[in-house]
Structure 1
Amino acid sequence: MNEPVLSLSGISKSYNRGTPGEVEVLRGLDLDLHAGEIVALVAPSGAGKSTLLHIAGLLDTPDTGQVRICGEDAGTRSDRGRTAVRRRDVGFVYQFHHLLPEFSARENIMLPQRANGTSADAARARADLLLDRVGIAARADHRPAALSGGEQQRVAFCRALANEPRLLLADEPTGNLDPATSGQVFDVLMELVAQTGLAALIATHNIELAARMDRVLRLDNGRLVDVAGPVHLA
């Protein structure tokens, strides 16, 4: 099998270390995620899903362990180096879209590209291509306030994929949507992953959506456990 897009080895993370209130969130956790693979991450609230995603995406650092992205030991790089890896190889989607309200859908997708040195014309063309892929090309000039919740989250997906990352990390990407819209938006996400061949790790409380992914991992006592059969959060 090809080298993993994301490889986590021996990841540990505690908060309030060295105090009576120390909380050990991750305990020697390991994970390999390959191109074209979409993996669900399930766990009760407060179990550490967001912490794991932030470490995987170089937004946080583990107490111990190694983070490799596309074969590179990214966790040991300088802050500037980590930022460069994030811009080049990692896309993020959150429960709330976090679109900039003063910019149109197209402009929100252009911004990360422009920050990465892409020309305005190329960034615009990429934004329009992505908006067409998710079925809202006609809404390109609308600002977030004029879009529905499902449309806003589709724009957020496009923004996450704007720089053609190798790794997509999503934290409850449909958690703020009603069930019908959640299913529709998830279909779009699955299609985008299939089209691009990237590796995706999706944290979700939605058991039905989790069951549709290639693998389901449960965060249990600070480690990841492969789930076979019915999925349970507890």
Structure 2
Amino acid sequence: MNDVSLRLSGLSKTYLAGTPGEVQVLRGADLELRAGETVALVAPSGAGKSTLLHIAGLLDTPDTGTVEIGGQDMTGKGDRRRTATRRSDVGFVYQFHHLLPEFTALENITLPQLANGVTEREARARAQDLLGRVGVANRADHRPAAMSGGEQQRVAFCRALANKPRVLLADEPTGNLDPATSDQVFAALVDLVSGTGLSALIATHNMELAARMDRMLRLDGGMLIED
């Protein structure tokens, strides 16, 4: 597929950090993420990976540059439009699962769909399907506290994909897991992404996992360089 799901052009971002003053995290970063591809984002801690993901996911705004999602330029759009686009077109996964503790796995995946106007019947059916695809269908009625770390993160993947987004943004999604569980969870993520046309940008310190993705981008000096 050649469709561009996410395009970042000339992104710059500077933060005020006391002494010595300003810290420029991004310096003209460019990226094209095509439908159906999984791209690794690697960089040392503090290099700006999270900032880049937050800007790409419309949680933050750049000082300069543009963000296009599905061909739509989101530069200067109001909060309501950005929120609607983020809810329908972007899925997020973090190092910690951030599941709602008082709800079951099934409910955690159903709720975002209900907020997006899907009927409860359709939402529950999709939630069950996603849980089955990552091998945790038997945990549908369990709350997060009753699941292992790997199971919790698989449910978090399902929740991120509940509304059929164009783009999945993941920030160290296996960073809190042991190596064996990390490998299993990553394989589940790849299975979810493959064949759907979804694009995934995954920040990771795990070079073995990064090497298994379609491409690898390195954030160096505020710019993205393809390895």
Q: Considering the TM-score relative to the shorter chain, is it more than 0.5?
A: yes
1:67 is matched with which residue? 67
3-state secondary structure, aligned to 1:10:
strand
1:110 is matched with which residue? 110
CA distance in 1, matches of 2:52, 2:19: 22
What's the CA shift for 1:18?
10
CA contact (8 A) 1:95 1:174 kept: yes
CA distance in 2, matches of 1:180, 1:20: 42
Residues 46-97 of structure 1, C-alpha deviation per residue, up to 9 Å, x if partnerless?
0000000000000000000000000000232100000000011000000000
CA distance in 2, matches of 1:102, 1:127: 17
3-state secondary structure, aligned to 2:25:
strand
Question: Any gaps of 5 or more consecutive residues in structure 2?
Answer: none
1:92 is matched with which residue? 92
TM-score where L is the length of structure 1: 0.95
1:40 is matched with which residue? 40
2:149 is matched with which residue? 149
Aligned residues: 227
CA distance in 2, matches of 1:218, 1:173: 17
What's the CA shift for 1:195?
3.2
3-state secondary structure, aligned to 1:218:
strand
TM-score where L is the length of structure 2: 0.97
CA distance in 1, matches of 2:15, 2:167: 26
What's the CA shift for 1:19?
8.4
Alignment pair present for 1:28 and 2:24: no
Residues 114-160 of structure 1, C-alpha deviation per residue, up to 9 Å, x if partnerless?
11111111111110010011111111000000000000000000000
- 4+ aligned runs moved over 2 Å, structure 1: 17-20
1:136 is matched with which residue? 136
1:218 is matched with which residue? 218
Identity of aligned residues (%): 75
Report the more deviating stretch, 113-122 or 97-106: 113-122
CA distance in 2, matches of 1:18, 1:106: 45
What's the CA shift for 1:196?
1.6
What's the CA shift for 1:20?
4.8
Assess, with a 3 A threshold, how the Cα gap between structure 1 residues 142 and 221 changes in structure 2: closer, same or farther. Answer: same
Question: Any gaps of 5 or more consecutive residues in structure 1?
Answer: 228-234
